[in-house]
Structure 1
């Protein structure tokens, strides 16, 4: 594999020649030489330099994106060859959207380690869009997401159902059992706390609003499920959250599920892998484990 690409990626991500050299255990002049050689090869400058840092220019952004893909492809090629001779082993880059990654994945990883101790998982947590794009770009071997993200370079497979509930703080006026089933219009004056755009939970919430023809008068947008739960517990508003994410809070009595007509809302979790003919043995065994044991929290 072209060492210049590895050096260029390090410089682009560290935004500094010296830091990149330290990471690669090289001298700074050697790093500079590799960058100059790559720029000669592509026929243009790739980095803009100032006294504090370097940054990618437009050409550099193009080269960086494709360099990451090339390095990822090389790594997978080597892993596939190794798999012909050995059992599942090596690094497995797993991406997961927040709900599954934070509340279900640890149990699956523990099971993976008990069965295949030579597999070394590296976990990234992000929203559905970011994880899917990282798998498509070859930066992750496999992903678990909360919603479909169609892409020609992905194979998408449902494997578990998620039931989502409208939740409020304990003692909320609408959580009293004698009130009976609520219509969603009764929540119009509540502040709805929602996830950020690109999140599978946000998509499910918007789909529920559209299905009911409902639009809350007030919203707050937060970037993590944990922050939303704590905000609901504090009485800042209500939210639609996964049953997987609220198990502890329901058991402790700090959150209450509101009995809203048309809920719980069901959605699917999906496994996403590159749409390729071959995958590493580690990827395949983890996928099989998800399909076999990942359907229940």
Structure 2
């Protein structure tokens, strides 16, 4: 059954018997035979076939979704059994939302591999909603997200405070006010550059709008780096994590505004689907929770001198 599931998943993703056969190092007739047998066992057709494409039908979409979960669980089960007698080693699939994934996680991974060189990590970066869905579907071992999460199936562990600041270009008119505190209402007429819905940073920004009592115009961009470049170019203002802006602030490219009732405080959280962890995952989580490691990564970024 495992082989049938893997063949079916590959055909569905490649939308081609020949491309799936090539990637699986099988002949095309063998792939076709696996699919025919699998459809017979399922009691229905799962794929729509034509001379131009192979696509999932409604039943196929259901089977594909669950097949991905089953393969993920089977792989995890094998690793857990192997861990009973082996050293800390093996694959570890990690997902992270953009802020943590782009600015903190690379340092954590480097330290992990220095201490446990036999661990083989794979990294997926997405917004909070995307990472939570992948962990829930057993396609990631562990996720690190920002913001809230409404999913009773996932274990959530807040582990790191994050301070978020309003930033502008160093040439922006509000930057000229120096370190004088401004009222949030002064930001209502500014264009705000924000992340997409589903992002933890977008969720925090919406909360800050409510906190400051403002309803500004917005531009929606899909990455922190693009937002920083746009703010630096004078396109607008934004709310960003201390981790995302520390280099630009040090270089004088971005200016933090001292705004009444800010910075905004949120938590980064670890999310997992199951209490059963491999040694590789337990070792990674131990390092992730280490306060001294995060301090050294950020060189104490917790408080900017406002």
Aligned pair count? 295
Task: Give the secondary-structure state (helix, strand or coil) at the position aligned to 1:132.
Answer: helix
Whole-angstrom CA distance in 2 between matches of 1:149 and 1:88: 30
Aligned to 2:301: none
Q: Which of 274, 277, 286 is matched with 2:284 structurally?
A: 286
Question: Which 5+ residue runs of structure 2 have no aligned equivalent?
Answer: 299-306
> How far apart are the structure 2 equivalents of 1:50 and 1:167?
54
DSSP 3-state at the match of 2:174: helix
User: Secondary structure of the equivalent of 1:285?
Assistant: helix
Corresponding residue number in structure 2 for 1:196: 196
C-alpha displacement of 1:214: 1.5
Q: Distance in 2 between matches of 1:210 and 1:55?
A: 45
**Contact residue 148 and residue 156 of structure 1 kept, 8 A:** no
Q: For 2:123 and 2:185, how far apart are their aligned partners in 1?
A: 40
Partner of 2:175: 175
| 1:58 matched to 2:58 | yes
Q: Which residue of structure 1 lines up, in the alignment, with residue 118 of structure 2?
A: 118
Moved more, 118-127 or 82-91: 82-91
Q: Which TM-score applies when normalising by structure 1? A: 0.96
Counterpart Cα distance in 2 of 1:295 and 1:112? 13
How many angstroms apart in 2 are the aligned matches of 1:106 and 1:2? 34
1:295 offset after TM fit, Å?
4.1
CA distance in structure 1 between the aligned counterparts of 2:188 and 2:233, rounded to whole angstroms: 19
Contact persistence 1:12–1:56 (CA under 8 A): yes
- Greater shift, 50-59 or 185-194, is seen at 50-59
Aligned partners of 1:105, 1:277: CA distance in 2, in Å? 22
1:81 aligns with 2:81: yes
Structure 2-normalised TM-score?
0.94
Aligned equivalents of 1:131 and 1:68: distance in 2?
A: 15
Q: For the residues of structure 2 that align with 1:200 and 1:56, how far apart are their CA atoms? A: 32
Q: Which moved more, 1:41-50 or 1:227-236?
A: 41-50
Question: d(CA) in 1 for partners of 2:260 and 2:191?
Answer: 19
Q: What corresponds to 1:219 in structure 2? A: 218
Aligned to 1:240: 239
Contact 1:169–1:256 at 8 Å: present in 2 too? yes
After superposition, the C-alpha distances for 1:236-261 in whole angstroms (9 at most, x for unaligned) are 10000001001111111111111111
Distance in 2 (CA, whole Å) between partners of 1:105 and 1:45 is 43
CA contact (8 A) 2:179 2:258 kept: no
- Which position in structure 2 is the counterpart of 1:105? 105
Structure 1 unaligned regions, length at least 5: none
| CA spacing shift, 1:178–1:8, aligned 2, 3 Å | closer
- 4+ long deviations beyond 6 Å: none
In the TM superposition, what is the alpha-carbon distance from 1:141 to its structure 2 partner? 0.3
